[in-house]
Amino acid sequence: MDENEPITIEITRRTVIETGTTALLLTALPPAALAAGPSDGNQPPPPSATVTLQINDRSHQLTLDPRTTLLDALREHLALTGSKKGCDHGQCGACTVLIDGRRINSCLTLAVMHDGQSVTTIEGLAEGETLHPLQAAFVEHDGFQCGYCTSGQICSAVGMLAESRSGMPSYVTEDLTHPVAELTDAEIRERMSGNICRCAAYPNIVAAIKQAAGTPT
Amino acid sequence: MKAFTYQRADSTAHAAAAAAKPGARFIAGGTNLLDLMKLQVETPSELVDINRLPLDKIEETPDGGLRVGALVRNSDLAADSRVRQRYGVLSRALLAGASAQLRNKATTGGNLLQRTRCYYFYDVTKPCNKRNPGSGCAALAGFNRIHAILGTSDHCIATHPSDMAVAMRALDAKVETVNGEGEPRVIPIAEFHRLPGKTPEIETSLKPGEIITAVTLPPPPPGVHVYRKVRDRASYAFALVSVAAIVDSTRGRIRSARLAFGGLALKPWREPQAEEKLVDASADTATFGAAANAVLDGARGFGGNDFKIPLTRRTLHSVLAETTRT
């Protein structure tokens, strides 16, 4: 796809559900209107910047207002609306994606800062029709209610399991000099504290992650 | 967000020269800066991205300490085996801060430079001498539950939010910088952050364009390392009170102690007189109380944060009891 051209989407009921009406409306707005935060008054838009991102193993070249966060680039410029905007201030974790395998809040970073880097979003976790083990575990354990935080929870859990396997301690790790033998409920809860679930599906989220931790990912 | 121009620095000298211009700011992890830019608390006209500079190494120093590059991420510093074994107080403090996602982005230099989370600093419709010098301090007579009890002034009662810096204060870390002319400087962490006084808008001793290149940790002092953080929820919250302690004791007798406090002031707080009360003293409640009295001498509450005075006393007692148990 050439992202310098406007995204054209055939509007059916299904695409409206999949991409959300807001995304469709915003594609019709001038690019400056997509910049995050309060409006900028009468200032002219800054010179645009070009960035190449490897997203879910596909290369995308985007020309963006430098104010565009990585989250807005994904949602509004690439129609990858799986990553959610909750608080837009790094407090809720709904926007969590993986950059070169590490989990971050995509709302608190600029897309232009990630030129050449590899981004994995919730859309990139499944292999064809086969769900990622964490996705399958969330379904099996009913690790959600409304589902708004779920893509962030799952991306965060993917990063968390990789951290844990590489020996990263947490605040509740008793002895920092020893690798963590087991991801207890307390370890999982501490390591996932950057992902808020307003429905409080936490017990099922912990159960899903615990199950997936025992499965190679 | 206000419009800005973006450039990526390809050398430390280039970064320092570019950021010396009025309105220019460095961006590294960006987790605090972008948050504030969205609210227009920060309105830089130019961002100098330093993420690609080679400042991301942790190296041994000849004297047995560590030199931590300014761009080492908080998660990498916390997980480094040398830090975990020799500087447990620092590893634990880092792990107590923010969330895993934020620690993966946040840098060593940026953590030192993060701004206060005072509600009124964040609210551009309210007076704040730090954000808008001369406008007044809305926290003095406002909601001030999270505010400072030590080192305050009539102009500002904000706290510094970092956990990492509190541990570094206990470790007597040194901040290495380079300015736009390429001149290096070493700033002891005790002199890095400033108390508000009449100029709360001046937060550190850095000059315009001066860039942090590294933080050096002297060889670890002997003793048990503890970082205790007391907060409103069990994880992912700023400290109401925190204590970084390195206490060397044997059979109930304290040889030496280092104590630094977070959540109490606009800089990580250290009180030499409190540490002196502990040297060659018996590890008992009378000694701990004398140390707490020395820390809290001059402490002042502003209504909502009065509870921090007894909370500091109790947290210090608990930490000293824990570190002198063996």
ipTM score for this prediction: 0.97
pLDDT in tens, B237-252: 999 999 999 999 999 9
B263 secondary structure, DSSP code: S
Enter the pTM of the model: 0.92
B96 touches A: beta carbon within 8 Å: yes
Q: Could you tell me which of B200, B158, B167, B205 has the C-alpha nearest to residue B185?
A: B205
**Of the candidates A43, A89, A193, which has its C-beta nearest B99's C-beta?**
A193
User: Which pLDDT tens digits describe chain A residue by residue (217 residues)?
Assistant: 444 444 444 444 444 444 444 444 444 444 444 444 445 556 677 789 999 999 999 999 999 999 999 999 999 999 999 999 999 999 999 999 999 999 999 999 999 999 999 999 999 999 999 999 999 999 999 999 999 999 999 999 999 999 999 999 999 999 999 877 789 999 999 999 999 999 999 999 999 999 999 865 5
A11 φψ region: left (φ > 0), alpha (ψ -120 to 50), beta (else): beta
State the smallest CA–CA distance between residue A116 and chain B in angstroms. Answer: 12
Instruction: Inspect the interface and report whether the beta carbons of A159 and B31 lie closer than 8 Å.
Output: no
List the single best residue of B1, B94, B125 to mutate versus A (max A Cβ within 10 A). B1
Q: Could you tell me which of B150, B149, B119, B151 has the C-alpha nearest to residue B137?
A: B119
b (16+ CB within 10 A) / e for A139-164: eebebbeeebbbbbbbbbbbbbbebb
Q: Residue B3's closest chain A neighbor by CA?
A: A46
Say if CB B151 and CB B271 are below 8 A apart: no
Instruction: Inspect the interface and report whether the beta carbons of A46 and B3 lie closer than 8 Å.
Output: yes
Burial class from Cβ neighbours inside 10 Å (0-12, 13-18, 19+) for residue B311 reads middle
Say if CB B121 and CB B282 are below 8 A apart: no
**Of the candidates A49, A113, A192, which has its C-beta nearest B30's C-beta?**
A113
User: What residues of chain A lie within 8 A of the CB of B51, using their CB?
Assistant: 113
User: What residues of chain B lie within 8 A of the CB of A38, using their CB?
Assistant: 1, 38-40
pLDDT in tens, B178-230: 998 999 999 999 999 999 999 999 999 999 989 999 999 999 999 999 999 99
**What's the CA gap between A68 and A48, in Å, rounded?**
10
User: What residues of chain A lie within 8 A of the CB of B163, using their CB?
Assistant: none
What is the pLDDT averaged over residues B243-268?
98
Q: Could you tell me which of B58, B242, B101, B82 has the C-alpha nearest to residue B166?
A: B242
List the single best residue of A110, A151, A174, A190 to mutate versus B (max B Cβ within 10 A). A110
What is the pLDDT averaged over residues B41-47?
98
**What's the CA gap between A45 and A107, in Å, rounded?**
20
The gap from C-alpha B171 to its chain's centroid, in whole angstroms, comes to 12
pLDDT of residue A182: 85
Average pLDDT over all residues of chain B: 97
User: What residues of chain A lie within 8 A of the CB of B105, using their CB?
Assistant: 104-105, 108-109
Q: Residue A190's closest chain B neighbor by CA?
A: B235
User: What residues of chain B lie within 8 A of the CB of A159, using their CB?
Assistant: 100-101, 104
**Of the candidates B2, B4, B79, which has its C-beta nearest A168's C-beta?**
B79
pLDDT of residue A41: 57
User: What residues of chain A lie within 8 A of the CB of B88, using their CB?
Assistant: 176-177
